[in-house]
Amino acid sequence: MSITVELTRFKVSSDREEEMLAARPAMLADFRADRDGFLGARLIRLPGGEWLDVVDWRSPEDHAASRTKGANLPGIAAFFATIAELVSAEEGTVA
């Protein structure tokens, strides 16, 4: 089994960072409850108001299925609502 890694880089305005961080636990809880193959996530603060979300999935199919659901639950929607700009999104496999 190869773990699929989702790398999403985004910006949050400084006045919404606390809101984003407060929304994170509910987003993760919704992912655990609703997203097959979700293994975990790490949120990394980068310079310049950017963040990197590193999410581990059991397979590329699980990641793809998650993307089709979007912000379908309140915790996920609240977290996504704080994002001002999507900088990049990539997918890879743990070697």
The structure tokens 């890694």 sit at 5
- Please give the pLDDT value at position 14: 92
Name all domains of the chain by residue range, CATH numbers in brackets: 4-89 (3.30.70.100)
Tokens of 25: 């636990």
**Is residue 2's pLDDT more than 90?**
no
Report CA-CA distances (Å) from 85 to 4, 11, 59. 24, 5, 26
Tokens of 28: 């993760």
- Please give the pLDDT value at position 94: 93
Could you tell me how far CA 29 lies from the centroid of its own chain?
12
- Give CA torsion, residues 87, 91, 94, 95, to 10 deg: -100
Question: Mean pLDDT of all residues in the chain?
Answer: 96
**Is residue 78's pLDDT more than 80?**
yes
Q: What is the pTM of this model?
A: 0.93
Q: How far apart are CA 47 and CA 49, in angstroms?
A: 6
Inter-residue contact 34 to 67 (CB < 8 Å): no
Render pLDDT for 26-72 as a digit per residue (tens, 0 to 9).
999 999 999 999 999 999 999 988 999 999 999 999 999 999 999 99
